[in-house]
Each structure stands twice: as C-alpha cells, then as structure tokens.
Amino acid sequence: MAGAIQDLTTVRQSTRPRRATEEGPLTRWTLTLLSAGFFTAFLLLPLGAVFAEGLRRGAGLYFRTFTDPATLDAIKLTLFTASIAVPANTLFGVAAAWAITRFEFRGKHFLSTLIDLPLWVSPVIAGLVYVLLFGSQGVLGPWLKAHHWRIIYATPGIVIATVFVTFPFVARGLIPLMQAQGSAEEEAALTLGARGWQVFLRVTLPKIKWGLLYGIILANARAMGEFGAVSVVSGHIRGLTNTVPLQIEILYNEYAFSAAFALASLLSLLALVTLGVKSYVEWRARQQLEQSQS
C-alpha cells in the first residue's frame, strides 16, 4: 500500500500534469514579463533617473543643495506640517474607527463614506475650497482679516490642507482590522472592572498597534509628499511657505536641475523607506489579524 502511493507520487512528479487552475507556460511567462516590464518602465526607471540626475554634477553639488537656506526652510516646513497633520489624523482616525466598528448609530454609513472623501476629491479642489473659505473674498475672509489672522498663504493653511488630504489613511487602515477582531476582549475587560481609557490603552491599542502604525506611515508619506492642495494655499513665498515638493518645482523652474533632483531624491528616499517599513508593518498586521482569527 505504502509502495503504491510512492509509485503514484513518482509518476506525478515526472509527468507533472497541469492543474486546472494553472495557466500554460506561455501565458505565465507573458504575464510575468509584461508586469516586470511595466514595473521597470514606469517605476524603476524614473526612480533611478531621479537619483542619477541629482548626482550628475557630482556629490559635492548634490550635498550643497541641502545647505541652501530656502531648501532647508522647505524641509523644516514639511517636517513641521507632518508633525501636526499626522498626530491630528491619528487621533481622528482612531476615534472614527472606534466609533464605526464599536457602535451602531444613525448616519454611520454616511460617516464611513465621508472619511473617504479626500481620496476622491482632487487635491486642487481641496485647496480651492480653503481659498474660498479663508481667502479675502471668502466666507470667513473679512472676519479673519479684521482679527489679523492669516490662514491661507501662511503655515496654518498648509497644515489644514495637509490634514485634509491625509484624513482617510489611519481610519481606513484600522476599520477592517477592528471589524475582524471584534470586541470580545474589550467586553471581557469591562466586566472585569476596567475603565474606558484603561480598556483602550491596555486592550485595544495593543491589538491594533500594527494596523495603526501602517496608517500613520501612509499618512506621513502623503503629508510630506502632497503637492496639489498645498500648492493652491501656499502663495509660494520663498523660505516661508514652500514645502519640499513645492521647492522642488521652484528649483526645477529656476534651471537648478541638479538641486531639484537632489531634493526629489530625498522625497523618493522617504518613499522607499516608507515602502520598506510598510511591508514589514503590513506583515505584522496580517499576523495580528490571523492571531485574532485563530
């Protein structure tokens, strides 16, 4: 009996009959080559070109880019903007995901649709909305002017626009995770006498931490890379209201191509690091999800 099974496996290995779900080698190879070619042409080549162009006139000029005061100011503004937008949206995202997955209330579907709004609105429109709201000709413009408050064409406007475009990332990362996990542990903690905050910090947060981190990383990458919405509300004042993506455009338009690409390579590096960390975190998040399901 045992020998018969062995024989059968040997036969199977030698002839390798194709499974019904498996495609023929021609289809497989075509598909693989096609996607690899696409990947190279549309992702790897441009990314490589960014670094090559940045370094074309030598490493000295490459690093001198990062000593230019206007460029440094742009980097500072970008970091500052992200340092407000990301925590703000982390807070909001956790709150929204909590509300949507743990409670039943009227308008719940509407709220979860609303969270996605920044993903389907073009960033230009997001920027223009704030111009219409806070601009001199806008709804709140005269009041702001009377109180000497500057929102658009200044840092607050850039922060607000960035908060808008990074809005969905944390909530979107958490909602499926929290839905899958359910709330059994939280209920157990409550019956054992834990308070609301204690439940959140000691039970929920450890459960969702990888999913949360995943959302934060994505939100951060978007916050630092956003161009459209920020461009509309920036006013492009050198050293004051230019973020890194805007500064890249300015350098490019000033024929400082090496500097533009050097700065662009910094952003690309951020993207690559994000990708690396993201893959790791994604893997951990999936593990967490599988644990909760088993």
Partner 1 sequence: MNRRQSLPSPLRNLLVIAALFALSTGAKAAELLNISYDPTREFYTEYNAGFAKYWKAKSGQEVTVQQSHGGSGKQARAVIDGLEADVVTLALANDIDAIAQNGLLPTDWQARFPNNSAPYTSTIVFLVRKGNPRGIKDWNDLVQPGIAVITPNPKTSGGARWNYLAAWAYAEQTLGKDKAKEFVGKLYKNVPVLDSGARGSTTTFVQRGMGDVLIAWENEAYLALKEFGADKFEIVTPSLSILAEPPVAVVESVAIRHGTLALAQAYLRYLYSQEGQEIAGKHFYRPRDPKAAAKYAGQFGNVTLVTIDDIFGGWKKAQTTHFADGGVFDQIYAR
Task: Kindly list the residues in this chain that would bind partner 1 in the complex (CB under 8 A).
Answer: 84, 87-88, 91, 131, 134-138, 141, 145, 148-150, 152-156, 159, 201, 235-240, 250, 252-255, 257
**Distance from C-alpha of 210 to C-alpha of 10, rounded to nearest angstrom:** 45
List, in sequence order, every beta strand (DSSP E) within 150-274: none
Minimum distance from residue 244 beta carbon to partner 1 (Å): 17
**Residue number with CB closer to partner 1 (141 or 280):** 141
Q: How far is the CB of 46 from partner 1 (least distance, A)?
A: 14
CB-nearer residue toward partner 1: 185 or 249: 249
Please say whether the beta carbons of 224 and 33 come within 8 A.
no
Shortest Cβ 34–partner 1 spacing (Å): 28
Nearer to partner 1 among residue 64 and residue 278 (C-beta): 64
Nearer to partner 1, 87 or 182 (CB): 87
Are 219 and 86 in contact, with CB atoms under 8 Å apart?
yes
Residue 237 Cβ vs partner 1, minimum distance, rounded to whole Å: 5
Closest CA to 170 of 253, 87, 46: 87
Shortest distance in whole angstroms from residue 265 CB to partner 1:
18
Our CB check for partner 1 shows the closer of 56 and 150 to be 150
- The smaller minimum CB distance to partner 1, of residues 96 and 131, is found at 131
User: How is 245-268 classified by DSSP, letter by letter?
Assistant: HHHHHHHHHTT-HHHHHHHHHHHH
Closest separation in Å from C-beta 108 to partner 1: 24
